[in-house]
């Protein structure tokens, strides 16, 4: 991508409305724009990061056996009347009437709709287990939308829904998502700790929130500090192994970890004082097992091996991609801007032409840009005629992991500088060496 032809509206000044660093940096880097309270456009740079986050989420959902579909944002109120949640949900639900005066709503979650899809076609235990997910916009008319896309009214959610014949089978489905979440957050460069959680309006029996420790987090959390160094399940984890996944779940729930709603001070006091971590955290994921809470009122049942009909046991599993992007920034930035983990960076490499219009600089940059793009790298080429200082500041602000800098003096020697955004380390090398480093 040539910056001269891209759309990346950088802000020079710190936006006054932004209270936390991630919101400030997302606005300054031109990643998002507020359209009305708690409702955002994702501008091209932000969209790239969001897409990469979603690709990792999708990859791990698929690995764990979940199947992607797409459900609409607008739902009929009837489904929610069946489950009894239409009245219970309150003012957070955006209620709409269509031209025939039929009550509709902008979905805050999809338990009812997915249960309806399930009951319309699954009739036998032989079709279980089943886990269906989508990555879709949600709307919740939050009392206090704030911190940009961290807590917005319209936001994106990956929501998965599992269906099983028995409680035991449903617990295995729960453990699959539990392990998938550990892997997902790890690949996003985050350490998320599963904490016992309240089941809230979704209702249910077993529930964990995945929390990232951050001073700007809205939740108060208490946990054993060893969680910070626990091993993440590997890529070859067997998601069909009941014992294997149970062992992962048991390990990751063996020590104290709870949010303030579920906090038990006496149990926490039993943790040796030096091992206690009481901190603030950001909830990035939440999983529930809720048994037959929706299948019973909505009549979602299958025939079991005994020939009788059974209400299915369900769970639901949410991750917030539009909250994850700022959460990653909260965890990874410095005074100059964002520092993206390579897995979600909007571009892999930025090529900075320090003197656009200078034939040698232009030729060198074009050569590098073409070679790296051909090798499948996402390259941003700063070919604008801004001052070098402005270009450096922009590159640092947008947090691309690697900068390749071509200035007249180095280029005259057939060299460029390669800078690591995270460490700030700079290395001078030949043009060929710079290309080979990232093509190899
Ligand atoms: P919170 O306690 O932060 O309000 P919640 O418990 O209501 O969230 P869930 O219903 O558990 O949220 O939703 C699953 C995930 O969706 C959350 O873990 C979070 O990542 C994301 N999410 C929920 N509400 C919002 C929001 N208003 N803005 C952005 N992401 C959200
Ligand atoms: Mg929650």
Question: Domain with 401 in it: what CATH number?
Answer: 3.40.50.800
Both 253 and 123 in one domain: the answer is yes
Both 59 and 173 in one domain: the answer is yes
* Total domain count, the chain: 2
pLDDT reading at 204 higher than 80: no
pLDDT tens, residue by residue, 146-166: 999 999 999 999 999 999 999
Alpha-carbon gap, residue 334 to 107, rounded angstroms: 37
Both 312 and 402 in one domain: the answer is no
Both 386 and 268 in one domain: the answer is no
The residue nearest atom 18 of ligand 1, judged by CA position, is 285
Does the CB atom of residue 151 touch ligand 1 within 6 A? Answer: yes
Both 175 and 297 in one domain: the answer is yes
pLDDT tens, residue by residue, 235-263: 999 999 999 999 999 999 999 999 998 99
Per-residue pLDDT band for 198 (boundaries 50, 70, 90) equals: confident
- CB 383, CB 396: distance < 8 Å: no
Both 74 and 222 in one domain: the answer is yes
Q: Which domain, by its residues, includes 240?
A: 3-338
- In 25-79, the DSSP E strands lie at 32-36, 39-42, 67-68, 74-76
Of 338, 359, 381, the residue at which a domain comes to its end is: 338
With respect to residue 154, please indicate whether it lies within any of the assigned structural domains.
yes
Distance 3 CA to ligand 2 centre (A): 39
Q: Which ligand minimizes its atom distance to the CA of 318?
A: 1
- CB 111, CB 203: distance < 8 Å: no
Nearest partner of 233 among 68, 66, 63, 67, judged by Cα: 63
Percent of the chain with pLDDT over 90: 96
Per-residue pLDDT band for 203 (boundaries 50, 70, 90) equals: low
Distance 232 CA to ligand 1 centre (A): 24
Does the CB atom of residue 38 touch ligand 1 within 6 A? Answer: no
Distance 132 CA to ligand 2 centre (A): 19
* Residue to probe by mutation, ligand 1, list 146, 320, 328, most atoms within 8 Å of CB: 320
With respect to residue 343, please indicate whether it lies within any of the assigned structural domains.
no
Of 338, 358, 375, the residue at which a domain comes to its end is: 338
The residue nearest atom 24 of ligand 1, judged by CA position, is 151
Q: Which residues does 141 contact at the CB level (< 8 Å), separation at least 6?
A: 91, 92, 93, 94, 153
With respect to residue 344, please indicate whether it lies within any of the assigned structural domains.
no
pLDDT tens, residue by residue, 9-36: 999 889 998 999 999 999 999 999 999 9
Burial readout 235-269 (b: 16 or more C-beta within 10 A, e: otherwise):
eebebeeeeebeebbeebeeebbbbeebbeeeebe
Both 298 and 235 in one domain: the answer is yes
Q: For position 57, what pLDDT does the model report?
A: 98
Assigned token pair, 31 = 């990643």
Both 118 and 153 in one domain: the answer is yes
SS3 state at 107:
coil
Q: Which ligand minimizes its atom distance to the CA of 210?
A: 1
pLDDT reading at 202 higher than 60: no
Both 95 and 48 in one domain: the answer is yes
With respect to residue 176, please indicate whether it lies within any of the assigned structural domains.
yes
Alpha-carbon gap, residue 262 to 278, rounded angstroms: 14
pLDDT tens, residue by residue, 320-357: 999 999 999 999 999 999 999 999 999 999 999 999 99
The residue nearest atom 23 of ligand 1, judged by CA position, is 320
- Atom index in ligand 1 nearest the CA of residue 197 equals 6
Residue 136 pairs with which residues in a beta bridge?
157
Average pLDDT (37-60) is: 98
Q: Residue 262: which CATH number? A: 3.30.930.10
Average pLDDT (116-127) is: 98
Distance 150 CA to ligand 1 centre (A): 9
User: Is the dihedral angle over the CA atoms 100, 140, 184, 49 positive or is it negative?
Assistant: positive
Alpha-carbon gap, residue 255 to 243, rounded angstroms: 19
Q: Which of 198-202, 319-323, 384-388, 403-407 comes out lowest in average pLDDT? A: 198-202
Both 213 and 243 in one domain: the answer is yes
Q: For position 437, what pLDDT does the model report?
A: 96
Distance 209 CA to ligand 2 centre (A): 6
Of 277, 308, 338, the residue at which a domain comes to its end is: 338
Does the CB atom of residue 283 touch ligand 1 within 6 A? Answer: yes
- CB 191, CB 201: distance < 8 Å: no
Does the CB atom of residue 155 touch ligand 1 within 6 A? Answer: yes
Both 332 and 354 in one domain: the answer is no
Both 363 and 238 in one domain: the answer is no
Q: DSSP labels for 242-253?
A: HHHHHHHHHHHT
With respect to residue 151, please indicate whether it lies within any of the assigned structural domains.
yes
Does the CB atom of residue 322 touch ligand 1 within 6 A? Answer: yes
Phi, psi (degrees; rounded to nearest 5) at 234: -75, 170
């Amino acid at each position: 991508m040539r910056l001269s032809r891209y759309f990346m509206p950088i802000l020079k000044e710190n936006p006054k409305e932004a209270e936390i660093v991630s919101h400030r940096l997302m606005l300054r880097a031109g990643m998002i724009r507020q359209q009305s309270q708690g409702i955002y456009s994702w501008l091209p740079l932000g969209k790239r990061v969001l897409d990469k986050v979603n690709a990792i989420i999708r990859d791990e959902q698929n690995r764990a056996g979940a199947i992607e579909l797409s459900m609409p944002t607008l739902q009929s109120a009837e489904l929610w009347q069946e489950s009894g949640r239409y009245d219970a949900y309150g003012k957070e639900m955006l209620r709409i009437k269509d031209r025939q005066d039929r009550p509709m709503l902008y979905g805050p979650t999809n338990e009812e709709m997915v249960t309806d899809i399930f009951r319309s076609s699954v009739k036998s235990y032989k079709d279980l287990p089943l886990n269906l997910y989508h990555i879709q916009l949600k709307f919740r008319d939050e009392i206090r939308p704030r911190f940009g896309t961290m807590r917005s009214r319209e936001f994106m959610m990956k929501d998965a829904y599992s269906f099983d014949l028995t409680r035991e089978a449903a617990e295995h489905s729960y453990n699959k998502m539990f392990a998938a979440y550990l892997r997902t957050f790890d690949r996003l460069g985050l350490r998320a700790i599963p904490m016992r959680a309240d089941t809230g309006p979704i209702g249910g029996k077993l529930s964990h929130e995945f929390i990232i420790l951050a001073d700007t987090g809205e939740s108060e959390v208490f946990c054993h500090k060893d969680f910070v160094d626990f091993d993440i399940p590997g890529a070859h984890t067997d998601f069909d192994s009941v014992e294997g996944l149970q062992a992962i779940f048991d390990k990751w729930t063996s020590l104290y970890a709870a949010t303030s709603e579920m906090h038990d001070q006496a149990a926490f006091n039993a943790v040796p004082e030096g091992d206690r971590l009481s901190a603030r955290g950001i909830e990035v994921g939440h999983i529930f097992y809720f048994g037959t809470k929706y299948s019973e009122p909505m009549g979602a049942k299958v025939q079991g091996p005994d020939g009788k009909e059974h209400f299915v046991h369900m769970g639901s599993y949410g991750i917030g991609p539009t909250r994850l992007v700022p959460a990653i920034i909260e965890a990874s930035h410095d005074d100059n801007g964002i520092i993206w983990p390579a897995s979600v960076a909007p571009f892999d490499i930025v090529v900075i032409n320090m003197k656009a219009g200078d034939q040698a600089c232009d030729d060198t940059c074009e050569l590098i840009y073409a070679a790296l793009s051909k090798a499948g790298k996402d390259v941003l080429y700063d070919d604008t005629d801004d001052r070098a200082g402005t270009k450096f500041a922009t590159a640092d602000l947008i947090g691309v992991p690697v900068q390749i800098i071509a200035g007249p003096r180095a280029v005259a020697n057939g060299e460029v500088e390669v800078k690591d955004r995270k460490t700030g380390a700079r290395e001078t090398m030949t043009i060929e060496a710079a290309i080979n480093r990232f093509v190899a």
